[in-house]
Structure 1
């Protein structure tokens, strides 16, 4: 959007920006341009493959009313379509896209409160010459914007905005701090001048400037139900959510880890498909060559996934679940082309390493069979599944609990120059962001100190932690044209469980008590008894050696970034292999290698 020029002369730039999203939308492309508003779209066809083309334009008497570019799914679109038809709207397609467009014409930006789903969209309101950006409540789908002197640029990912030559590729001190702390600050786009629409937020940009509002926040209220009623309500919500999220005109599957979360989704999805005679469910799991046979427990993982995956599949034999293991090795994980694709998908150096790479490879393999996948992502944040939820010292540490637990997935701080780190003062930045987050927590009068603190901890996870995982999931999946849905992020379930007392969430003395009880009848005992185990990471010593070799080549070539500390890097390369230090060492090396590649390929200027 630009009020200072004529965008009809910028078709080539719009095309370049749109084409960066080809991975997200491999099935179709479209553009719409007027003097002051221009919209580009790449489509991944899920519902109404022929009729849902975008940008979608609403007209009346030959005059354009509004133009929509939309990513995601609205799961209650059928009910909304019926309501809108009753209000006089006529529909040309079967798509949820047209429902969103017509809902905007009916309710303006008030449409957001009517939507159940995962979505990010922009509406160019031609009547008002105004752009409206809307993002779903939990931040499942990404949406970025970059104000300009005459208007704004926007896109699903930073790369779309960075494709415009008017954008500076600069990361300043605040952006570097955000890269170094394992917390996702709402609205922070890392690149200077770039912002992310806040989950549950709306941004409007017109001739009078930019305004923001939040249409959804986590509410606090008394929980009226006893334990049996609460368990039944959770199960009823899950049944409804999973069934809604099975709507698709393309092949669909589930992602299965053998944990409680993904197993529950798989079991409920298989039941729903059978109930409606919609065929057999496919499921996929990631594994590594020799992983189960040579598995060594570590601080994060007690057991490998494969035995529990196969137990669940056998347990669901009556549903005819068709399962496949995607087995990877170190050569797959170190493939330069794959690593470059992962960085391209992420747009930022995350330092997560093989957990990103293996997820990308898993999704790429799944995409050969399915276009939509259901995931168990976010159940830990909703139900209290991480170990640090249950460690009093970590809970009361006075910072983000995952940081107090020692979780380190962003390892750039271990390779950067010490003077730079002092200047950035990441501990001070973390304390500031922690204070901001606590100030937002919706309080409930009369709660005990324990319940009030656990409400804070749950809020921190649902607003500052889960967004990192949702972003990772979305980027890795959409990079290969796979749509991953997250039933546990349905806002109805999130609100209900958020307001359930912590004592009830842990009634059996374990993590995720409510979910375990709600899904007990559909899961085998082995899965119900299994302790929480995070997404797997390869334990192959050859992978660590390959990382060290690549870091050594970088150091010897003189291409080490100026902000990195060569002595630290050399010490990492020379450090003997050790099962105790392996996780941190690998994270440090991954951080260095990805940060270096990012500076080079994204042509980033670090201005600190």
Structure 2
């Protein structure tokens, strides 16, 4: 897990611009605290920050082999098999790293290497034979990668901050950038900054003297599912076991993020089982808030607190477990908010759900370098509550914005009135939804209900999951922690995606297939537990502190962020009883505070009509 950056300029001599390439690379020191390197030639500069995971002394980058140089971020979980295959073809290796295997794989198979990779990755190869840059991103988009075309080439980086460090880039945000911040639809290629793009998951972007081109090498496709229910459960169990075993490979301490839900508990159980056979004990970590279990109140996203279920998993699996318990006063620290904004490069407004995640990851990093997560199981197996709400299912909109939650409601309410008309979020969302639905591949044998559930699954696996993966990656890498996501293995995703909905809901419960496939490693209480979202503090003092900080924002009348904010929305909100603030209103305050700090940190130029 690392940070990569680079610059291609066919009309310039970049050997005189090494300092800029190094500055771009240095912005991602948090992603790679263990080592740094740059490789500069007349028309190309590659930079790398390394978080050492496999072959600690041998995996330094940029790495050069024959006519190709590469910077690589992520992990190829099948690199051992690929190495044996390449050795059979005559390739010689100097290290034990997966990076060198991927580089030799490119030399042997070119861009078709992607068809053989299993893992999470984002990498760039400079091929001197054709003076071509190749940017490649993994199938589900676990690892981030951005690019910015220039008149004579391209800039790229794991995060926008690397590209923004180049003086050739203007920090402009236009209406489309603002629309996505409000809409929460994860528009393909969107990167907030005007002129900057995200390399889409499952995509290869090539840059040469003729320009920038892209092609999709993987997408979700509808295929007949002929396995019986029993066989399907067995196959899910086999896949999950293999995936977790592969993702435990590391030369550094590993752990599992344990929430007490089905997803993380299944990963914990499978990991513990595997390591116990090797004489090892798995480590697990959980986040909690002071007094939350005693004062917990059910809401639209959570029926029960996590802690009792976490204890049940610990009692069954016997890991080395640690609770990271946080106080509401810590979560409202403005400096902590700024760290999260810096990590994400944008004012997304998740509030304490991001700051608590940052603090959890920070605590884990003191003891482990790699963590396995249950992220994405809900998208793969149909676990979110709105999958099972008939009214939401039949609505022509993104389900996560229809279901009553902190994400739903009028997300443009906090924006100043003169912006709402040009933003026209309703039309933007309708267009994005129509574009998404039109891309879904169906089988002729699918009935109307099956087509609808396939569509909803597709929306989650191509839109919603990308937002969640970006959050997980950016916040974890801000503290130098590698988080692996077993449920994003493309073999599992393809298989479960094509299982009929009747199998995914065969026992009348969400995530039926996962529940059945992992019942042998999960306690009964967790098997019966309803889906619960990532924990959120319910302490009114958190709301009160947000209100106080919002008052200070309103008092700063000349601040540029206030040109985007609806004062008439915020003014009565900051006078409400802190105990009587709904979750979506609290998120609104968080988004305003994020905007305020983001303007200070990034100094964006807002381009309006």
Q: TM-score range by the shorter chain?
A: over 0.9
Q: Is 2:132–2:206's contact at 8 Å kept on the other side of the alignment? A: yes
Look up the SS of the partner of 1:103 in the other structure.
Answer: helix
Deviations 1:434-463 (A, max 9, x none): 111111111111111100110000000000
| CA positional deviation for 1:120 | 0.3
| CA positional deviation for 1:578 | 4.1
| CA positional deviation for 1:562 | 1.1
Q: Is 1:351–1:594's contact at 8 Å kept on the other side of the alignment? A: yes
Look up the SS of the partner of 1:164 in the other structure.
Answer: coil
Answer yes or no: is 1:132 the counterpart of 2:122.
no
Q: Is 1:412–1:592's contact at 8 Å kept on the other side of the alignment? A: no
Match of 1:310 in 2: 311
Root-mean-square deviation (CA, aligned residues, Å) is 1.0
The 1-side partners of 2:390 and 2:171 are apart by 43
The 1-side partners of 2:65 and 2:249 are apart by 25
Greater displacement, 552-561 / 120-129: 552-561
Look up the SS of the partner of 1:285 in the other structure.
Answer: strand
Q: Is 1:84–1:102's contact at 8 Å kept on the other side of the alignment? A: yes
The 1-side partners of 2:596 and 2:315 are apart by 45
Match of 2:5 in 1: none
Q: How many residues align?
A: 598
| CA positional deviation for 1:332 | 1.5
Unaligned residue ranges in structure 1 (runs of 5+): 60-64
Mapping for residues 488-527 of structure 1, pairs under 5 Å: 488-527=487-526
Answer yes or no: is 1:368 the counterpart of 2:366.
yes
Look up the SS of the partner of 1:141 in the other structure.
Answer: coil
Q: Is 2:554–2:562's contact at 8 Å kept on the other side of the alignment? A: no
The 2-side partners of 1:392 and 1:36 are apart by 56
Match of 2:342 in 1: 344
Deviations 1:266-298 (A, max 9, x none): 000000111233x11000000000011110111
The 1-side partners of 2:127 and 2:45 are apart by 11
Q: Is 1:182–1:408's contact at 8 Å kept on the other side of the alignment? A: no
The 1-side partners of 2:572 and 2:130 are apart by 60
| CA positional deviation for 1:412 | 5.9
Deviations 1:475-524 (A, max 9, x none): 01000000000000000000000000001100000100000000111111
Mapping for residues 12-411 of structure 1, pairs under 5 Å: 12-59=19-66, 65-277=67-279, 279-317=280-318, 321-409=319-407
| CA positional deviation for 1:52 | 0.3
The 1-side partners of 2:407 and 2:132 are apart by 40
Match of 1:62 in 2: none
Look up the SS of the partner of 2:75 in the other structure.
Answer: strand
Look up the SS of the partner of 1:471 in the other structure.
Answer: helix
Answer yes or no: is 1:468 the counterpart of 2:470.
no
Match of 2:575 in 1: 574
Answer yes or no: is 1:547 the counterpart of 2:546.
yes
Unaligned residue ranges in structure 2 (runs of 5+): 1-7
The 1-side partners of 2:25 and 2:411 are apart by 31
The 2-side partners of 1:92 and 1:80 are apart by 15
Deviations 1:387-418 (A, max 9, x none): 10011110110111111113443886222112
| CA positional deviation for 1:168 | 0.7
The 1-side partners of 2:41 and 2:522 are apart by 55
Greater displacement, 27-36 / 399-408: 399-408
Q: Is 2:288–2:323's contact at 8 Å kept on the other side of the alignment? A: yes
The 2-side partners of 1:126 and 1:275 are apart by 47
The 2-side partners of 1:76 and 1:545 are apart by 50
Q: Is 1:39–1:55's contact at 8 Å kept on the other side of the alignment? A: yes
| CA positional deviation for 1:557 | 2.5
Look up the SS of the partner of 2:11 in the other structure.
Answer: coil
